[in-house]
C-alpha cells in the first residue's frame, strides 16, 4: 500500500558524517519571500508616509499663511483708516491696541522713520529682503527663523502714508504638529513593515506547502519508503506536478525492486553450486596430505576464495532484502553490558569500557542485527586497523552510543563517507593485497543502523592516538525503531 505524504509527515534523515562548512548559507526561499514582502511593505509605507507628510505640511502651512495674511491685511486696512496725516509714533500704541489680536501674532509698525516694536521683536528681526520689497511699496511675506523658531513675516505697505505694517506669526505649533505626525507615520511604517513580513511568512508557507510535501516525499523515498506517493492536489497545475512525481517514484520503485529481485535470485541460484563446491573442497581438505605442495597451495587459495564467495552471497542476500524493503526488526529488551560481553566472546580480548551502573542499561533492539553490527566493526578493525583496542559505551536520556576504536592509520576525512558505500574499502583496504573481505561489511552496518533509526560515523580517536573511532548511535526509545 502506498504511503501518502501530508504536511506533517517527516521522513527520517540519517547522518553519516556532519561536514563543517563555515561559509554563510544563503537565505531559503521562504525567508526570501518574507523578506521581499517586508521590504515591499517598508517601501510602500515610506512612500505613503513621505507623501502624507509633504501634503499635510503644505496644507497646514498654506492654511496658516492664508489665515495670517488675511488677518494682516485686515489689520493693515484698519490701521490705515485710523491714521491721520499728522499722526505721530506716540499715537500708534493706542491704535495698535484696537487691532485684531490672535495668539501667536505679533506686529511691528513703521511710521516714517520711527518704529513701534514689541517686547520680543524689533526692526533688526525682520528679513532684509522683505524690508527691501516694502521699500518698493510692494506687499510680501517670507518665512524666517526668529529666536530659533520658524515664523511667518507678512509685510503690507500703507500706501496712503509713509508707513508699513508687519505681522509676525509663530509657526511653532505647526512644526510641533508636523513633528508629531512624523513620529506617527514612522511608527505606522514600522507596523506596516511587520504586518507585511508576517503576511509574507503566511503567504510563503501557503505557497511552499506543495514543495514541502514534495521534499517530505523525496526524503521518505531516500530513506527507503519506496511506496511513498503524493496526495492529489486542489490546484490543476499542482496535480500535474504530483502526477509526475508519483510516476517517477513508481518507476524508481519498480526498477529498484527489479534490481533487488535480480540480485536475490542470482544469490539464491549461487547457493546450490556453492554448497557443492564447499562439499568438494571439504573432500579435498580431508585428503590434503596426499596432495603435492603446489596442489596444497592451490587448495588453500581455493578454500579461502570459496569462503569469501560464500560470505559475499550471504551479504548480497541480506542487501537485497534491504533494497526490496523486506527487512524488518525483531525488537526485544537487550541488557547492553551482558550483550556486548557475549557478542565479543571468542574474539581477541578487547577492553570493554562501560558507564556507571551499566547493569541497568537496557535498550530495545534487534539482537541479531545488533550482534552483526558489533561483529562487522570488529572485523573491519582487524582487517584495516590493526585490531580493535577498546569498545566504549556511553549513554544519555535519548541515545546509546557504542564506539569501536582501533590502532590503524585512521580514515582520512575525505573517505569517511565513502567507506560506508558498497564494495568500498578505502585507501587502507587498497593497500592490502591479502584482504579477504567482501566490501559489504560497513554497508550492512549503516543499513542495520538506519533500520534502528540511528546513525553511524567515523572520527579520529579523542585521545590523539593513531587510529579510527567508529561510533554507533541508537535511540534509547525503542518505539522509534518500529
Rg (CA), the chain: 46
State percent of the chain over pLDDT 70.
88
H-run or E-run covering 96: helix 92-97
129 touches 147 (CB < 8 A): no
Tens digit of each residue's pLDDT (9 = 90 or more) over 15-52 = 333 344 456 667 777 788 888 888 888 888 888 888 88
Task: Give the whole-angstrom CA distance, residue 470 versus residue 384.
Answer: 13
27 touches 191 (CB < 8 A): no
What is the torsional sign of CA 94, 99, 100, 105?
Answer: negative
Cα 258 to the center of its chain, rounded Å: 38
Q: Angle, nearest 10°, between helix axes 336-343 and 367-384?
A: 50
Q: Which of 319, 476, 466 is nearest to 386 (CA)?
A: 466
Task: Give the whole-angstrom CA distance, residue 87 versus residue 387.
Answer: 124
Architecture of the CATH domain 236-323 = Orthogonal Bundle (1.10)
- Identify the pLDDT of residue 459: 92
- Identify the pLDDT of residue 26: 76
- Identify the pLDDT of residue 425: 65
Task: Give the whole-angstrom CA distance, residue 233 versus residue 240.
Answer: 9
Give CA angle at 358 (357, 360), nearest 5°: 75
- Whether 265 has a pLDDT exceeding 90, the answer reads no
Tens digit of each residue's pLDDT (9 = 90 or more) over 326-360 = 677 888 898 988 888 888 776 667 888 888 877 78
- Whether 470 has a pLDDT exceeding 90, the answer reads yes
Question: Is the pLDDT higher at 153 or at 241?
Answer: 153
Q: Would you tell me how many other CB atoms lie within 10 Å of the CB of residue 465?
A: 12
Instruction: Write phi, then psi, for 399 (nearest 5 degrees).
Output: -145, 155
Confidence band (pLDDT; 50, 70, 90) for 435?
low
Contacts of 395 (CB under 8 A, 6+ apart): 336, 355, 361, 401, 476
Q: Where are the domains of the chain?
A: 236-323, 331-481
Confidence band (pLDDT; 50, 70, 90) for 405?
very high
H-run or E-run covering 236: helix 236-286
Task: Give the whole-angstrom CA distance, residue 103 versus residue 220.
Answer: 78
- Whether 241 has a pLDDT exceeding 60, the answer reads yes
Q: Which of 442, 320, 426, 421 is nearest to 379 (CA)?
A: 442
- Torsion of the alpha carbons at 189, 193, 198 and 202, rounded to the nearest 10: 120
* Same fold? 236-323, 331-481: no
Tens digit of each residue's pLDDT (9 = 90 or more) over 156-189 = 888 888 888 888 888 878 878 888 888 888 888 8
Domain 331-481 has CATH 3.40.190.10: no
- Torsion of the alpha carbons at 145, 148, 150 and 155, rounded to the nearest 10: -40
Report which listed range, 103-117, 346-360, 392-406, 413-427, is most confident: 392-406
- Torsion of the alpha carbons at 121, 124, 127 and 130, rounded to the nearest 10: 100
- Identify the pLDDT of residue 480: 52
Amino acid at each position: 500500500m502506498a504511503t501518502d505524504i501530508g504536511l506533517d509527515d517527516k521522513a527520517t534523515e540519517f547522518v553519516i558524517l556532519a561536514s563543517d562548512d563555515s561559509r554563510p548559507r544563503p537565505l531559503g526561499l521562504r525567508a526570501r519571500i518574507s523578506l521581499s514582502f517586508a521590504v515591499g511593505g517598508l517601501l510602500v509605507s515610506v512612500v505613503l508616509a513621505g507623501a502624507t507628510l509633504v501634503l499635510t505640511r503644505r496644507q497646514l502651512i498654506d492654511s496658516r499663511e492664508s489665515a495670517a495674511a488675511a488677518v494682516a491685511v485686515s489689520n493693515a486696512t484698519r490701521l490705515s483708516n485710523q491714521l491721520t496725516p499728522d499722526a505721530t509714533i506716540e499715537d500708534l500704541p493706542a491704535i495698535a491696541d484696537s487691532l485684531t489680536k490672535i495668539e501667536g501674532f505679533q506686529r511691528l509698525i513703521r511710521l516714517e522713520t520711527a518704529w513701534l516694536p514689541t517686547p520680543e521683536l524689533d526692526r533688526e528681526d525682520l528679513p532684509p529682503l522683505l524690508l527691501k520689497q516694502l521699500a518698493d511699496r510692494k506687499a510680501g511675506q517670507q518665512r524666517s527663523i526668529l529666536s530659533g523658531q520658524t515664523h511667518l513675516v507678512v509685510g503690507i505697505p500703507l500706501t496712503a502714508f509713509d508707513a508699513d505694517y508687519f505681522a509676525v506669526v509663530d509657526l511653532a505649533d505647526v512644526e510641533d504638529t508636523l513633528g508629531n505626525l512624523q513620529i506617527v507615520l514612522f511608527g505606522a511604517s514600522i507596523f506596516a513593515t511587520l504586518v507585511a513580513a508576517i503576511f509574507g511568512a503566511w503567504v510563503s508557507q501557503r505557497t511552499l506547502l506543495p514543495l514541502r510535501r514534495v521534499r517530505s516525499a523525496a526524503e521518505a523515498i531516500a530513506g527507503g519508503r519506496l511506496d511513498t506517493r503524493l496526495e492529489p492536489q486542489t490546484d490543476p497545475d499542482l496535480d500535474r506536478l504530483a502526477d509526475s512525481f508519483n510516476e517517477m517514484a513508481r518507476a524508481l520503485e519498480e526498477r529498484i525492486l527489479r534490481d533487488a529481485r535480480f540480485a536475490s535470485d542470482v544469490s539464491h541460484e549461487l547457493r546450490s553450486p556453492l554448497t557443492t563446491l564447499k562439499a568438494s573442497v571439504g573432500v579435498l581438505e580431508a585428503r590434503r596430505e596426499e596432495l603435492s605442495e603446489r596442489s596444497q597451495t592451490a587448495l588453500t587459495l581455493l578454500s579461502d576464495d570459496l569462503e569469501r564467495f560464500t560470505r559475499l552471497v550471504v551479504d548480497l542476500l541480506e542487501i537485497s532484502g534491504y533494497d526490496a524493503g523486506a527487512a524488518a526488526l525483531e525488537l526485544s529488551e537487550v541488557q547492553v553490558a551482558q550483550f556486548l560481553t557475549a557478542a565479543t566472546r571468542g574474539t581477541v580480548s578487547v577492553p570493554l569500557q562501560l558507564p556507571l551502573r551499566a547493569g541497568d542499561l537496557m535498550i530495545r533492539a534487534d539482537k541479531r542485527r545488533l550482534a552483526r553490527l558489533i561483529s562487522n566493526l570488529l572485523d573491519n578493525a582487524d582487517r584495516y586497523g590493526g585490531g580493535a583496542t577498546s569498545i566504549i559505551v556511553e549513554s544519555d536520556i535519548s541515545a546509546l552510543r557504542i564506539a569501536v576504536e582501533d590502532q590503524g592509520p585512521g580514515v582520512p576525512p575525505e573517505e569517511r563517507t565513502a567507506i560506508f558505500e558498497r564494495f568500498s574499502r578505502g585507501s587502507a583496504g587498497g593497500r592490502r593485497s591479502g584482504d579477504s573481505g567482501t566490501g559489504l561489511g560497513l554497508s550492512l552496518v549503516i543499513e542495520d543502523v538506519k533500520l534502528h533509526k540511528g546513525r553511524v560515523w567515523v572520527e579520529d580517536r579523542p585521545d590523539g592516538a593513531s587510529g579510527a573511532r567508529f561510533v554507533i548511535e541508537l535511540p534509547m526509545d525503542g518505539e522509534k525503531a518500529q
